[in-house]
Amino acid sequence: MPDFSLELNEDQLQVQKWVHDFAESVIRPAAHEWDEREETPWPIIEEAAKIGLYSFDFVANAFTDPTGLLMPVVNEELTWGDAGIALAILGSTLGLAGIFANGTPEQLMEWAPQCFGTPDDLKLAAFCVSEPDAGSDVSSLRTRAVYDEAKDEWVVNGTKTWITNGGIANTHVVVASVDPELGARGQASFVVPEGTPGVAMGQKFKKMGIRASHTAEVIFDDCRVPGRCLLGGKEKLDAKLARAREGQRSSGQAAMKTFEATRPAVGAQAVGIARAAYEYSLDYAKERKQFGRPIIDNQGIAFKIADMKTRVDASRLLVWRAAWMGATGKPFEAGEGSMSKLFAGETAVWVTEQAIQILGGAGYVREHPVERWHRDAKIYTIFEGTSEIQRLIIARAVSGMHVR
Ligand SMILES: Cc1cc2nc3c(=O)[nH]c(=O)nc-3n(C[C@H](O)[C@H](O)[C@H](O)COP(=O)(O)OP(=O)(O)OC[C@H]3O[C@@H](n4cnc5c(N)ncnc54)[C@H](O)[C@@H]3O)c2cc1C
């Protein structure tokens, strides 16, 4: 048995096939319809729940795979089917990741299953960080959480924007400032459980792509949550704030911790879209004839295909490396999580654009999926940290300088 292998094990291959079959038979045939409808594809989420794919148990199992590869594999297969529907299925894992990153084991046990519910009683979760004036700069959050000691409650006020599942989620995990003077170090995460008064959906956004995934504002207006909803607990928060006030180094801020854990999975989603576009273009280029021969007979097209395949595979390798490093506790000394998301995101945009070119006019119209894949791909250079922010993280990591 060699020490090093890039082969998936039997269990991983089985899960990969199972998710792929669902993506091929259920998600892909529904993709065009839900893109046009721009609505949450409840029937598809229900199907996923019925077979156990949309469930806390499945996600927990994928999250805890010791090699780290299962989560990216699942993400790639789902988005290969369709990114919008995949995000409708995967959106709740963002809320879960927020709980996982900062919650105690007891809080995880209590709140995590509620992010998914059961096949008969589906639930959604959302992770609310971004605000109108705090996107890339997550240190400047204005949403405030104030402790009401008499009642042992936190009172949350503020507006979050661009939130996946925002306002339609049952559980909202929200990052708020508890001490604005401390910037990012004065922030904490809270679970806002189902039925809590003071949470409302603002505007729902009409988007360029991933249109089956719901994105909206969430408004917290004197929203009161019990003290136990503070992720990590009060004692830990007080200690963290005291350290910050003394000017000691922090071990990691609430929002950034979550993003670190989710970046390779997001990169894997981009790989799924890029792979779909590569495969489609390859088939098309072999079929389509001009000048009496298949267009792939021309180097101009064949070399595009070669570059597409190379970049898709390179993206996957970066994603797998970062996921493996995360799972095995290797430090991200060169921003490897960011590298995976940066490269895979930009690859997805590039590969889907090449796909449109290879299909010519057919690539530009909705009879073929490649224009949708291009629209979907673009979000991967924006959310979970823009490409510029990923480059900042990598540049800072490798240079040791506070590059701005
Ligand atoms: C469909 C969708 C779903 C989303 N889902 C969620 C969600 O579930 N939860 C959540 O909290 N957020 C979510 N977001 C928000 C997303 O993470 C932000 O849009 C993203 O972080 C960028 O923030 P911004 O839009 O405010 O852009 P800005 O921060 O205003 O950036 C604008 C431009 O300036 C660049 N820029 C900013 N600062 C620098 C710098 N220092 N150096 C170089 N360039 C810089 C950026 O890279 C970008 O190109 C979602 C967004 C979208 C569109």
Residue 196 has pLDDT above 70, yes or no: yes
CA 378 to chain centroid: 14
Per-residue pLDDT, averaged over 17-26, amounts to: 98
**What does the pLDDT read at residue 173?**
98
Atom 6 of ligand 1, nearest CA residue? 163
pLDDT mean across residues, the chain:
95
pLDDT classification of 56: cutoffs 50, 70, 90:
very high
**What does the pLDDT read at residue 248?**
75
Q: What is the DSSP string of 274-329?
A: HHHHHHHHHHHHHH-EETTEEGGGSHHHHHHHHHHHHHHHHHHHHHHHHHHHHHTT
Residue 1 has pLDDT above 80, yes or no: no
**What does the pLDDT read at residue 15?**
98
Share of the chain above pLDDT 70, in %: 96
* Pocket probe mutation, ligand 1, options 96, 139, 162, 349, max atoms within 8 Å of Cβ: 162
Could you tell me whether strands 171-177 and 125-128 are parallel, antiparallel, or unpaired per DSSP bridges? parallel
CA 80 to chain centroid: 15
Higher-confidence position of 376 and 261 = 376
Atom 19 of ligand 1, nearest CA residue? 383
95 Cα to the center of ligand 1, angstroms: 18
pLDDT classification of 262: cutoffs 50, 70, 90:
confident
Residue 115 has pLDDT above 80, yes or no: yes
Residue 255 has pLDDT above 80, yes or no: no
pLDDT, one tens digit per residue, over 23-36 is 999 999 999 999 99
Helices 254-287 and 336-359: crossing angle in degrees, nearest 10, is 30
213: phi then psi, degrees, rounded to nearest 5: -95, 130
**What does the pLDDT read at residue 3?**
79
* 9-18, 78-87, 120-129, 246-255: the lowest-pLDDT one: 246-255
CB-CB contact of 352 with 370 (8 Å): yes
Per-residue pLDDT, averaged over 326-340, amounts to: 92
Residue 354 has pLDDT above 80, yes or no: yes
CB-CB contact of 234 with 40 (8 Å): no
**What does the pLDDT read at residue 4?**
86
pLDDT, one tens digit per residue, over 138-161 is 999 999 999 999 999 999 999 999
Out of 131, 336, 371, 384, the active site residue is 384
Residues in the chain, total: 404
Q: Is 217 a catalytic residue?
A: no
Beta carbons within 8 Å of 326's beta carbon, 6+ residues apart: 68, 260, 261, 264, 332, 337
Beta carbons within 8 Å of 299's beta carbon, 6+ residues apart: none
pLDDT, one tens digit per residue, over 59-89 is 999 999 999 999 999 999 999 999 999 999 9
